[in-house]
Structure 1
Amino acid sequence: MTLPLSILDLAHIGEDGIAASFRASVDLAQHAQEWGYRRIWFAEHHNMPSIASSATSVLIAHVAAHTTTIRLGAGGIMLPNHSPLQIAEQFGTLETLHPGRIDLGLGRAPGSDQNTLRALRRDPMSADSFPQDVQELQAYFDGQSRIPGVNAYPGKDTHVPLYILGSSLFGARLAAALGLPYSFASHFAPQALEDAVRIYRRDFQPSAALAAPYVIAGVNAIVADTQADADALFLTAKRRRVASMVGRGQTFTDAELDLLLESPAGQQVLNMMRYAAIGTPAVAREYLDHFAKLADADELIVATQITESTARLRSFELLAQAMDLAAAA
């Protein structure tokens, strides 16, 4: 049986600017809907010149208005940046406008640096109340507000499904305790994947939201018609990642970037992309089948480091064909 396959759209801002990024997200969603992908998620990031999904709920609304059946959501909203009531209102609005199509993944990281955290007016201690904030948010959606006299309009009784996101054991334990589905960010933080999933499945407590544990695992993929093309796209992605994370905004030649990749800092950056299906459709299929077993996953969510829109679409098209998504749908 083919596992459901979904997409994490990184909403990359390329040379054509932010408006082009939004058009590319709509284009990808429309094609992904046709190809059989289950859902597309967007992540909340702030003060990042390469990512356009900072106003996450607004982008979800825009893409939802241009699609009809594919599920859309946040992967995720960094809840400590917001009040639970505001998020309940935003996603209650989305669910009311697009019933049965909206997901809400929740994380506790700031999604930004310390200066940006201050600009967001975020309390540095706000992450400590993340479990309570998740429960407050869930109560708004279920019409059982934890604050007397306060309800989310829209939001009340919309039952928007919640997902706990994580890259450590904390999220696994929380998702298990609350009886919620768990999505592990193994596409950029692979270290704790197996331990986190094992703990989540072992400790899971059935709830009104979910009777049995459900794991979504993140994985990178670059698929092309030839192995050489996929390898070339991956090399470009690695160079771009190391330039961003190690190069501190400097300009480098390709030869200099390759030297950076070989450095200890570069190797650490590369390890973030440890789980990656790179190659032809057959190679990608074999890799994802293996990864799904390793991750003990019920669903995979795929991110790609391809930024050029034609190659990005082709990668997701080939992957859908390789995984027989149309037949599974």
Structure 2
Amino acid sequence: MNSLSETAFSVLDLCPIVEGGTAVDAFRNGLDLARHAERLGYHRYWVAEHHNIPGVASAATAVVIGHVAAGTSRIRVGAGGIMLPNHAPLVIAEQFGTLASLFPGRIDLGVGRAPGGDQRTARALRRYFEEVDAFPKDVQELQAYFQPATPGRFVHAIPGEGLDVPIWILGSSDFGARLAAQLGLPYAFASHFAPDHLFDAVAAYRESFVPSATLAEPKVMIGVNAFLADTDEEAVRLFSSHRQAIVNLVRGRPGLLPPPIDDVDSRCTPEERAAVDRMTRVSLVGSPSTILGPLRSLFNAVRPDEIIFSGHVFDHAARIHSYELLMQARRSG
């Protein structure tokens, strides 16, 4: 079993658009973050699909992945994830088959069950949902498109067919955990924003895992928020941008990522503060020495194979430094 210092660290990015910035800035900064992550030894750089959220630029997820993969050379690049209810599985197979052809051995495809937006946005995406949850069927259809051609198959993903594109199941409950276990696929839990069922879901996945041609043993990744700085006070201040963004989301008024402030808690109600605290419970905020103990405790409690870190810091240089400090803490693990 891996120690913390041997456990893969990865980066999750939503390409945040900050107040006073643009999507162009977000994409430029995302690529720069991926290049730094590659240099620092991070294993993956993933972007997530969200729609109709002003502060998130990664809606066209496959396009962003291609941009980042073209600007890096070694780090794995992928989706964390594609919200499969929004898409025909064939389209995703073709997109990621194209990416895997352009960047062999470097592309990951994480898929989730949520729409990544509200119902009006889902309808605008031109998807028509069945009464019965179609996600398991869609995942299996997606898997089939990546298999080698067989007699009797009349629809082919070109490119995509016969390519080894790793599929991850993403989730925040035991539904995705049990599906990943049943299909013998790796599982990533979204504890960075929905931590309530972390331990139950990971336990369910490991207990019910069925080995497959893809995976012989369970493989678990967990999401963690990380806001590191040279001092605890500065890290708390950096974290305030993310807390403000969640408050705005709770209020139904998502916006651009705001600059940090010192009195974020005074600007929300006790109920809003409780919601933010619950959603961000799995967060590391502080200097490397401060976060090392909580990081070790989380690692020992879950024993993940990989940890993917999300850190929506307003200032780009401070975000890069946060990821540098995080890797410094890992070496001390």
TM over 0.5: yes
State the partner residue of 1:12.
16
- 1:240 Cα shift? 3.3
Indicate conservation of the 8 Å contact 2:245/2:254, yes or no. no
Aligned partners of 2:326, 2:72: CA distance in 1, in Å?
A: 21
Q: Deviations over 1:261-291 (max 9, x none)?
A: 4511331122100011111112223222211
Indicate conservation of the 8 Å contact 2:237/2:262, yes or no. no
Distance 1:172 1:226, change over 3 A: same
User: What TM-score comes out, normalization by structure 1 length?
Assistant: 0.93
Please say which of residues 123-132 and 205-214 is displaced more in the overlay: 123-132
Aligned partners of 1:96, 1:249: CA distance in 2, in Å?
A: 36
State the partner residue of 1:197.
202
Q: Report whether the alignment pairs 1:290 with 2:297.
A: yes
Q: What is the aligned residue count?
A: 326
Aligned partners of 1:275, 1:324: CA distance in 2, in Å?
A: 21
Distance 1:153 1:255, change over 3 A: closer
User: What TM-score comes out, normalization by structure 2 length?
Assistant: 0.92
State the partner residue of 2:233.
228
Aligned residue for 2:281, secondary structure, equals coil
Q: How does 1:25-44 map to 2 (within 5 A)?
A: 25-44=30-49
Of 174, 193, 215, the match for 1:169: 174
Of 115, 120, 142, the match for 1:110: 115
Distance 1:255 1:63, change over 3 A: closer
Aligned residue for 2:314, secondary structure, equals coil
Of 208, 212, 221, the match for 2:213: 208
Of 303, 306, 309, the match for 1:299: 306
Aligned residue for 1:128, secondary structure, equals coil
Indicate conservation of the 8 Å contact 2:54/2:254, yes or no. no
State the partner residue of 1:323.
330
Q: Report whether the alignment pairs 1:93 with 2:98.
A: yes
Q: Deviations over 1:211-243 (max 9, x none)?
A: 000000001110001111112212343233213
State the partner residue of 1:310.
317
Aligned residue for 2:111, secondary structure, equals strand
Aligned residue for 2:148, secondary structure, equals coil
Distance 1:145 1:103, change over 3 A: farther
Indicate conservation of the 8 Å contact 1:218/1:303, yes or no. yes
Q: Deviations over 1:56-82 (max 9, x none)?
A: 000000000000000000000011111
Indicate conservation of the 8 Å contact 2:8/2:42, yes or no. yes
Aligned residue for 1:195, secondary structure, equals helix
- 1:84 Cα shift? 0.9
The gaps in structure 2 that reach 5 residues or longer are none
One-letter code aligned to 1:317: E
Aligned partners of 2:233, 2:263: CA distance in 1, in Å?
A: 22
State the partner residue of 1:142.
147
Q: Report whether the alignment pairs 1:124 with 2:147.
A: no
Aligned partners of 1:243, 1:174: CA distance in 2, in Å?
A: 33
Indicate conservation of the 8 Å contact 1:108/1:127, yes or no. no
- 1:55 Cα shift? 0.3
State the partner residue of 1:274.
281
The gaps in structure 1 that reach 5 residues or longer are none
State the partner residue of 1:159.
164
Of 264, 270, 276, the match for 1:263: 270
Aligned partners of 2:70, 2:150: CA distance in 1, in Å?
A: 29
